[in-house]
Amino acid sequence: MEFVCVGKIIKPQGIKGEVKITPLIDIPAIFNGKHRLYIEKKESGFVRSSFRLGYAYAQFETIPDRTVAEKFRNQKVFISREDFDALAEDDFLIEELIGTIIYDENGAYVGQIMDVENYGFDDILIIKEDEHLYEVPFKKAIFKTNNKSLYVIRAEYDGAKVEN
């Protein structure tokens, strides 16, 4: 089974074994309690989860109390790839974006995605064209998707030419 990392346990929450999770993905619906979560890719007897104030909180059968929860600090939380794909029709994983070749609306080569950064608001694609690197926000106003694998950059954005 393939997995997608969705968060990292940062600390116990309360005395009944619930843990606080920093989300590593911006799809809060993953923590709505309808999807099976795994700790370090191991079946953990997921019971329930919730998402509030920017953090996920989860209860697992394998974590009965706060003492046991302490042992899970810094452990990663995963969801199965099948569950993720069903949930995220128009969402992409960073590893899916890196290496993708970008073409403009006319099919001309623009560049290749080298990395993805996030400075707090939007994901920023680092695009390499020849020997130049450009940072472009990953917004629907700039990019279009085609079959979840091709990313087409629009030459115009809010009336201004996008450097490419």
Each residue's pLDDT tens digit, 106-133: 778 888 889 888 776 778 888 898 888 9
162: Cα within 13 Å, side-chain hemisphere: 22
Residues 78 and 13 in one domain: yes
Residues 9 and 29 in one domain: yes
* 3-class DSSP assignment, residue 109: strand
Residues 74 and 118 in one domain: no
Is pLDDT at 14 greater than 60 in this prediction? yes
- The pTM is what? 0.63
Each residue's pLDDT tens digit, 28-62: 778 777 778 899 999 888 788 888 888 999 999 99
Residues 31 and 65 in one domain: yes
Which CATH number characterizes residue 66's domain?
A: 2.40.30.60
